[in-house]
Amino acid sequence: METEKTGRERKVSEVSRDQRDARKKGDGAAPGDGLTLGMKIQDLSAFYGSFKAVTDVSIDIQANKVTALIGPSGCGKSTFIRCLNRMHEVIPGARAEGHVMLGEQDIYAKTSDPVVIRRRVGMVFQKPNPFSKSIYENVAWGARINGYRGDMDELVERSLKHAALWEEVKDRLKESGHGLSGGQQQRLCIARTLAVEPEVILMDEPASALDPVSTQKIEDTMDQLKQDYTVVIVTHNMQQAARISDYTGFFYIENMGDPGQLWEFDETEKMFSNPERKETEDYVTGRFG
């Protein structure tokens, strides 16, 4: 009797074909129809004072998938990702317009609390930024101030395991987080983000400051994380986007001084083999940017 194959046992092309079939059934709707929605962004624009940096982005972020955002410098990728947990507005004069649905909640609704939103949508930055505390406290801190009342030891261990760091630090949890290597520090920051149990993890060039081995560990970690979380990553490394993501969005500025816009969004396999738009193809093949 033929049994249904799991995702791990199936070829990449089989999985992609199923996703594409699901999309076709949706009569040409956005990528990922038929999958669980992680975030739904509608007509999102971002401003720095009177300058519009990103315009009218509408995109569905699928749950338990990695979505990569690529594009040339200054096209609004990082601005956009910071809008997804209301980090953009902490910059004086910065604001966002539009809708970002996280489940049933519009994170830009007047009733939405930015602090709660940032707990539900965690963020990992380009440069590792551990606290000047022990490894243990780095992970426990966020959960503690959010009122976590469970078994803290268990939470720290679970978070470090999820971030693929536990085996390397389990015997020195009391040592300073600053004593770790750059790659370990970044995974510590991922563990710290996981400890507050977010639904979505945003990563802004998380491996750009790391050596190849550390980068590989972060990429492997992301592959594991998507089983439990929705991941959105900004990266300038197109091969990284091709390796780790399920969906890719290409941001582009049409003319100098214009706001950045989401130029093309599709399954990563399609974006890196046969994108629809010339500008996307020129960018992914390295002809500009």
Partner 1 sequence: MPRETFQQELDGLVSDVLDFGEEVKDSLENMVRAMEGRDAGAARQELGVDIRYKTWGMDIERECMILQARQAPVARDLRLLYTVQSVTNHLVRSGTLCEHICHAIVDTEGCERDEDLETALVEMARTARNVFNEGLDVFENRDIERARDLQAKDDKVDLLYSESMNLIANPTEGGGGAPEWRMRAALMVHYLERISDHGVDVGGSAVFLVTGQRIEDAMQQYLDRNVDQDAG
In the complex, which residues of this chain contact partner 1 (CB under 8 A)? 238-239, 242, 272-275, 280-281, 284-289
CB of 282 to partner 1, least distance (A): 9
Q: Identify which of residues 180 and 242 has a Cβ nearer to partner 1 in the complex.
A: 242
Quote the CA–CA distance of 236 and 208 in Å, as a whole number. Answer: 8
98-102 contacts, C-beta under 8 A, 24 or more apart = 98/41, 98/42, 98/43, 98/44, 98/45, 98/56, 98/57, 99/40, 99/41, 99/42, 99/43, 99/44, 100/39, 100/40, 100/41, 100/42, 100/44, 101/39, 101/40, 101/41, 101/42, 102/39, 102/199, 102/200
Closest CA to 207 of 165, 235, 178, 174: 235
Cβ distance 149 to 113 under 8 Å? no
Q: What are phi and psi of 15, to 5 degrees?
A: -60, -45
Both tokens of 9, joined, read: 């046992």
Nearest distance in Å: CB 264, partner 1: 12
Q: Choose between 108 and 272: whose C-beta lies nearer to partner 1.
A: 272
Shorter beta-carbon distance to partner 1: residue 78 or 248: 248
Q: How far is the CB of 18 from partner 1 (least distance, A)?
A: 18
CA pair distance 91, 244, nearest whole angstrom: 30
Q: How far is the CB of 79 from partner 1 (least distance, A)?
A: 25
Shortest distance, CB of residue 248 to partner 1, whole angstroms? 11
Cβ count near 115 (within 10 Å): 9
Distance CA 121, CA 100 (A): 12
Residue 262, classed as helix, strand or coil, is strand
Q: How far is the CB of 281 from partner 1 (least distance, A)?
A: 5
CB of 285 to partner 1, least distance (A): 5
Q: DSSP strand E in 159-219: where?
A: 200-204
Which single residue is written with the structure tokens 């706001």?
259
Q: Which is nearer to partner 1, 224 or 239 (CB)?
A: 239
Phi, psi of 89 (to 5 degrees): -75, -10
| 132/274 with CB nearer partner 1 | 274
Q: Which is nearer to partner 1, 81 or 238 (CB)?
A: 238
Nearer to partner 1, 197 or 266 (CB): 266
CB of 241 vs partner 1, minimal distance in Å: 10
DSSP 199: S
Q: Which residue's CB is nearer to partner 1, number 224 or number 273?
A: 273
